[in-house]
Chain A
Amino acid sequence: MIGTSVKSQQEIVSNIGLLPKEFTPGNYVDGWTNFDLSFGRFFLNSAMVSLLTVVGNAVSCLLAAYAFARLRFRLRGMWFAIMIGTLLLPGHVLIVPQYILFRSLGLVGGEWPYLPLLIPQFLATEAFFVFLMVQFMRGIPRELDEAAKIDGASAFGIFRHVILPLSRPALVTTAIFSFIWTWNDFFRQLVFLSSLEDYTVPVALTLFIDSTSQSAVGPMFAMSVLSLLPVFLFFLAFQRMLVEGINTSGLKG
C-alpha cells in the first residue's frame, strides 16, 4: 500500500511488484491538494473532533462510572441495567431520530457543525467506557474510600482525592480507544457533516471514490496511508496497553 502510494500513475498499472521502480512522492502532493481545499484541513477537523471526543468521554464516563461503582442511591441497579442495555443498542437505530433532533435544533451544518458528533460524547453515551471504568473501579480497595470517609471526605472529596488519581490506567485506556475509534468512525461523520470544509478525513477519503478515474488512485492511496498514520503511531506507542486493555475489559477494536 505504501509502495503503491509512491508509484507513478503509469507504474501503478504496469508494475505489480510491491516496491516502485522509481520513487515518486508526487502522489502525496497531488492528494494533499486534490480538492479545492488542502487535505490538511480534513486532518485538522478530524484531530479536533477526536481530541474533544477523548476529553468528553474521559470526563463524563468517569463521573458516571464513579456513581455506579461506589455510590449508593435509589434505583442504582435499574440505571445500571439500562446502561448495560444501551451497550447492545446499535448506533444505526438512533441515527435517524438523532439527525432529526440535531437538525431541528439547528446544529446540523450550523455554526459549529461538530456539535452533533460531540454532544453525545460529553454525555457519557459511550456505555462501553462507563462499563470499563466501573469494572476498573471495583478493583480499587474500598478501604481507601472508608479511610477517606472517616477523615471527613465527602463523596466529591473521595472522587477527587482517591478515585481520580487511581483511575489513571482506565482513563488512559479510554482515551486511546476513544481517539482511535473516533478517528476511524465513518457512519456518524458521514451523516452529520454536509459541507466540504467541515469534512473529516474518512469522509474526505470517500471523495476519491467518487472520482474513480484511474488518475486518482495514487493520491487516494497516499492519503489513505496518511490517514492511518495517527492510529498506527498510537498503536506503536500504546500497544502493550491496548492489548492489556482489551484483555481486561473485552473492548472491541
Chain B
Amino acid sequence: MALTTVPDPTRRGTGSARARHGAGGRIRQSEGLAGYVFLSPWLVGLMAITAIPMLLSLYLSFTNYDILTPFSEVEWVGLANYERMFTSDPSYWHAVRVTLTFALVAVPLKLAAALGVALLLNRAWRGVGLFRSLFYLPSLLGGSVALAIVWVNMFNRDGAFNSMLALFGIEGKPWVNDPDWALETLMVLAIWQFGAPMVIFLAGLKQVPTELYEAASVDGAGRWRQFRAVTLPMLSPVIFFNLVLETINGFQGFTAAFVLSNGTGGPVDSTLMYTLNLYIKGFTDLEMGYASAMAWVFLIAIGVITAVFFSTGRFWVHYSDGEDR
C-alpha cells in the first residue's frame, strides 16, 4: 500500500551498478554474500521477532488460547473471536469509538498547533532557538509515565488547573474523574505535545523558495493569500507526512490512558483506548486468542486508513519536482 511512495534506494545509481556488473561477476557475487552477512541480524529479527509472531498471532486469533493451557490443548474456534468482537462485545465498539473520537479531535488540532507555531518560529528573531527547544521538549517526554502522572494531577479536583480557574472565580470540576471530560483531558495532553510535527513543519518551511513569496507579493497577494497559495501547497508533502504519522500515533495512545485510569480505561470506560482494551483483554483477562483477533483488526484498520490517505493524497499533495514520490 504505502510502499510504492517511499524513495527506493535500489532505483538510484542503477547505471553505475550496471557498469560494475560488467566489470565482473565475481565482485558482484562476493558483494551479494557480504550484503546478506550484514543484513543477517535484521533478517533474523524480521523472522523471529516480527514475521513468525505475526503468523502465530493470526493463528491464535482463531483459537481460545489463554496462556495457561498448553498449546496442544488449544481449541480452534474459527471466527468466533471476530464474531464476538463485532456483535456481542459492547466494550469493543466502545473502545473503537473512544479511539476514533480521540484521533479525530486530537490529531487535527495538534497539527494545526504545530503548523501555527512553526509559522511563528520560522521568522528570525532573538531567542527563536530557545522557543523551538521549549516547544519541542514536551514531545520528547511524550509517552512517559511521569508526564502523564503530572498531567492527571494537574487536572484533579485539587489540581493546578482548577486553582487557576478559581482565580477567575470559575468553579472547576474533577476533570479526570468526570466521564464527560476525562478523554478531553487526554486530548489536551496529546495536543500539547505538538513539538515533533512542529519541527518537521519548520524543516518544510525552510524549503519553500523565498522567490515564490516575492512573486506573490508583487502580484498583490496579502499574507493570507500567500499562505493559502504558496505555503500550503508547498508544504503539502510535509503536512501529509505528519498527518499519516500522527494519525497512526493517535490510534496507539496507551500510556496516558493507562495512567489516568490506573489501567482500567475508566472513569466509566471513557478512556478505554483500543490498545488499552487490547492490553486488558490479553494480559489482565488472559484472553490471548481474543486479543490477537483484536490486534489483527487493528492492523488491518491502520493499513486501510493509511491506504486511504495515500490514495486521497494525490489530490492535494504537490511535489514541486513533479515527481510522484
A140 within 8 A of B: no
Quick one: CB contact mask for B112-149 with A, threshold 8 Å, 1 for yes? 00000000000000000000110011011111111101
Asked whether any CB of chain A lies closer than 8 Å to the CB of B203, the reply is yes
Q: With an 8 A cutoff between CB atoms, is B69 at the interface?
A: no
Query: Binary interface profile of A, 193-209, with partner B (CB < 8 Å = 1, else 0)?
Result: 00000000111011011
Q: Which residue of B lies closest to A181 (CB)?
A: B143
Distance, CA A97 to CA B9, complexed state (A) = 32
- Check: B160 CB closer than 8 A to any chain A CB: yes
Determine if B46 and A82 form an interchain contact, defined as CB atoms under 8 angstroms apart. Answer: yes
A180 within 8 A of B: yes
- Which residues of the other chain, B, contact A35 by a CB distance below 8 angstroms? none
Chain A, residues 84-121, CB within 8 Å of chain B (1/0): the string is 11101111111111111101100000000000000110
- B302 pairs with A88, CB closer than 8 A: yes
**Does A130 lie within 8 Å of B42, measured CB to CB?**
yes
Residue contact B12 to A209, C-beta cutoff 8 Å: no
Within 8 A of B (CB), among A66-80: 66-69, 71-74, 76-77, 79-80
Contact of B140 among A122, A201, A225, A231 (CB under 8 A): A231
**Known contacts A93-B295, A95-B282; is-contact A231 B49 (Cβ 8 Å):** no
In the complex the two chains form, is A96's CB within 8 Å of B282's CB? yes
What's the least CB distance linking B145 to chain A, in Å? 4
Contact of B137 among A60, A80, A101, A235 (CB under 8 A): A235
**CB-based contact B35/A242 at 8 Å:** no
A97 CA / B53 CA spacing, docked (Å): 5
Most buried by B among A156, A184, A217: A184
Q: Does B319 contact A (CB under 8 A)?
A: no
Whether B224 is near chain A, meaning CB under 8 Å from some CB there, is: no
Q: What is the predominant secondary structure among interface residues of chain A facing chain B?
A: helix
B144 contacts A184, C-beta separation under 8 Å: yes
**B160 close to A250 (CB less than 8 A):** no
B residues near A1, Cβ cutoff 8 Å: 150
Q: Is B158 an interface residue (CB 8 A)?
A: yes
B79 within 8 A of A: no
Contact A206–B38 (Cβ < 8 Å) = no
Do the beta carbons of A92 and B254 come within 8 Å of each other?
A: yes
**Could you tell me the distance between the alpha carbons of A10 and B97 in the complex, rounded to whole angstroms?**
41
Q: Are B262 and A89 in contact (CB under 8 A)?
A: no
| Range for the number of chain A residues in contact with chain B | 35 or more
Check if A21 is an interface residue, CB within 8 A of chain B: no
If the complex has contacts A71-B35, A120-B45, A155-B38, are A100 and B144 also in contact, measured as CB distance less than 8 A?
no
The segment out of B87-95, B183-191, B193-201, B228-236 that lies at the interface is B193-201
On whether A16 and B145 interact (CB within 8 A), knowing A93-B54, A246-B196, the answer reads no
Query: Is the beta-carbon distance between B9 and A94 smaller than 8 angstroms?
Result: no
Chain B interfacial residues counted at CB < 8 A: 93
A30 at the interface (CB under 8 A from B): no
Question: Cβ of B258: which chain A residues have Cβ within 8 Å of it?
Answer: 186, 190, 206
Question: Which A residues lie within 8 Å of B41 (CB)?
Answer: 60, 63-64, 122-124
A100 contacts B67, C-beta separation under 8 Å = yes
**Residue A239 at the chain B interface, CB threshold 8 Å:** yes
Q: Is A202 a contact of B144 with CB atoms below 8 Å?
A: yes
Kindly state whether residue A83 has any CB partner on chain B within 8 Å.
Answer: yes
Q: How far is the CB of A182 from chain B (nearest CB, A)?
A: 11
Q: How far is the CB of B138 from chain A (nearest CB, A)?
A: 9
Quick one: which of B35, B46, B255 has the most chain A CB within 10 A? B35
Known interface pairs A71-B31, A125-B50, A187-B254; A16-B160 also in contact (CB < 8 Å): yes
**Is B101's CB within 8 Å of the partner chain A?**
no
Residue in A18, A100, A159, A250 whose CB lies within 8 Å of B241? A250
Chain B window 265-301, contacts with chain A (Cβ cutoff 8 Å), 1 for yes, 0 for no: 0000000000100110011000010011001101100
- Chain B residues, CB < 8 A from A83: 42, 46
Residues of A within 8 A of B44 (CB): 123
Give the distance in Å from the alpha carbon of A76 to the alpha carbon of B42 in the complex.
13
Q: Which 5 A-B pairs have the closest CB atoms?
A: A123-B45, A73-B35, A155-B34, A16-B163, A97-B53
Supply 7 A–B pairs (Cβ within 8 Å), ascending by A.
A100-B67, A184-B142, A186-B143, A205-B145, A224-B145, A248-B203, A252-B245
Known: A96-B292, A202-B146. 14 other contacts (CB 8 A): A1-B150, A64-B38, A72-B17, A88-B303, A93-B296, A95-B295, A96-B291, A183-B144, A185-B143, A231-B140, A242-B140, A247-B202, A253-B195, A253-B199
| Chain B residues proximal to chain A, CB less than 8 Å | 2-3, 6, 8-10, 12-13, 16-17, 20, 28, 30-36, 38-39, 41-46, 48-50, 52-54, 56-57, 60, 65, 67, 71, 132-133, 136-137, 139-147, 149-150, 153, 158, 160, 163, 166, 193, 195-196, 199-200, 202-203, 241, 245, 248-249, 251-252, 254-255, 258-259, 262-263, 275, 278-279, 282-283, 288, 291-292, 295-296, 298-299, 302-303, 306
